[in-house]
Amino acid sequence: MEMEEKGKEEEEQWNAETQRSSIPHDLMVEILLRTPCKSLLRFRCVCKLWDSIIKDPQFTYLHFQCRERKDEFHRPIMISHDWCFGRGIVHLNHIHSSPSNQLWELGELLITSLCEGFSMSSSINGLICLDETTSVIICNPIIGRYVSLPPCQCRLKLDLNLLYTSSKDFIGFGFHSSTRQYKVLHSLNLSRDFDIPEVYHEIFTLGSQSWRRLDGRDYRFHPDSNTMTYFDGALYFFGENNPRAQVIIVAFDVGDENFRRVQPPCKCGDDPFHMSMVELNGNLCLADNEVGVSGRVDIWVLKECMWIKKYSISFEVIGALSWEGFPILIRDGKIVFETMMLVEADNSRVLEFISYDIQNKKSTKIYLCPSGTSKVRDYVESLVWV
């Protein structure tokens, strides 16, 4: 008992001395804001004052913003998945563009409910959205935390096997900066033979208990579309008005929870399977693979509601198969591409990551891995949690 009281007295004395230190509180916060995440996790053990500062949601958000504005903190990261005693382990690695082309481990998570065929949606403020057929998971591998969302209600309420011939799910992860709310949008495309497809939308606000239905029946996903892209408070995806109609772009406002139509570039393709949207250098971009036409990828940038063709890059330069090759991020005057390479020996395909120098118009290989085992995104480390 006496030892416990003595320990408390020493801790209180240490905290008091820290608070009376010659470093002003505001200056201490500024120093910590410039400290790497892994160091901050260790610094939480220094004293109660530092622990309270580092755990404060306002501090973690400001810390992320300081890093997010600088190119050197944007990294192409690879998320891979394997099994250990029947439980899934998610590995987060930085693809380092050095001559050695090494993977630097950033963190790992043991997630019991994640299956092998998972997808990765947007990465927002250091949080990553993982989804597969039965569950949606929000995680931050840097701090080793994750949360599993309740099952999507649309699939639970609809008898898909009896009523519909096919179905396809889409998951989007978004953020509303004014309210600091994170939301997950689930869209379910349903089809009967020769009928116009139906769509159901529902949304989950992190911190709530259940999904909510949304009215968006006029905004269906294009069947060849793959993912939603988050940019500046909205989720973007390729949609269609009627079957076999021209592709459209749909934006979902995360704050107002309303859908709206965005006109695509007038001279881009009409097959979303060969198109992708991504945030590059703080702009919403559309990458269009000119399949069977000129063997290139065109990158369009949305500026003041107008699409401007910024780059046009030949696949011969980046060494990609003509149907695969999309940008991930721009850093230090280089565009990092995720491409697909064919291995002639066994006719298999592998993912290859290419760094394309915008000025010199030359490319170098960064890393390659077996297709289907990994997902790659632009990522900035953070201590943010919900």
Q: What is the mean pLDDT of residues 346-369?
A: 76
What does the alpha-carbon distance between residue 291 and residue 275 come to, in Å, rounded to a whole number? 10
CATH code at 313?
2.120.10.80
Residue 254 has pLDDT above 60, yes or no: yes
Distance between CA 327 and CA 23 in Å, rounded? 44
Residues 93 and 49 both lie in one domain? no
pLDDT, residue 195, reads: 64
Does the residue 274 lie in any domain? yes
275 within a domain of the structure (yes/no): yes
Same domain, 41 and 80: no
Q: Are residues 91 and 183 in the same domain?
A: yes
- In this structure, the answer to whether residues 35 and 166 fall within a common structural domain is no
Spatial separation of the C-alpha atoms in residues 60 and 378, rounded to whole Å:
19
| Pair (328, 355) in one structural domain | yes
pLDDT for res 322:
47
User: Does the pLDDT at position 173 exceed 90?
Assistant: yes
Kindly state whether residues 106 and 45 are assigned to the same domain: no
- Per-residue model confidence (pLDDT) at position 370: 53
Instruction: Work out the pLDDT band at 184, boundaries 50, 70, 90.
Output: very high
More confident residue, 25 or 34: 34
Please indicate, yes or no, if residue 386 is contained in any of the structural domains. no
Question: Does any domain span residue 124?
Answer: yes
Q: Are residues 27 and 130 in the same domain?
A: no
Name the percent of the chain lying above pLDDT 70.
66
Residue 385 lies inside a defined structural domain of this protein: no
Cα separation, 192 vs 99, whole angstroms: 52
The total domain count for the chain is 2
Each residue of 44-80: pLDDT tens digit?
888 888 899 999 999 998 999 888 877 666 766 666 6
Q: Count the Cβ atoms, other than its own, within 10 Å of residue 146.
A: 21
Q: Quote the domain boundaries for residue 286.
A: 71-379
The predicted pLDDT at position 235 comes to 95
Indicate the pLDDT class of residue 83, thresholds 50, 70 and 90. Answer: low
Q: Mean pLDDT across the chain, nearest whole number?
A: 77
140 CB-side CA count, 13 A: 18
Please indicate, yes or no, if residue 61 is contained in any of the structural domains.
no
What average pLDDT does range 168-183 have in this prediction? 91
Question: For residue 63, is it within any domain?
Answer: no
Q: What integer pLDDT is reported at residue 175 of this predicted model?
A: 95
What's the confidence (pLDDT) of residue 99? 46
* Position 290 confidence tier, pLDDT thresholds 50, 70, 90: low
Residue 384 belongs to some domain of the structure: no
**Is residue 184 located within the same domain as residue 313?**
yes
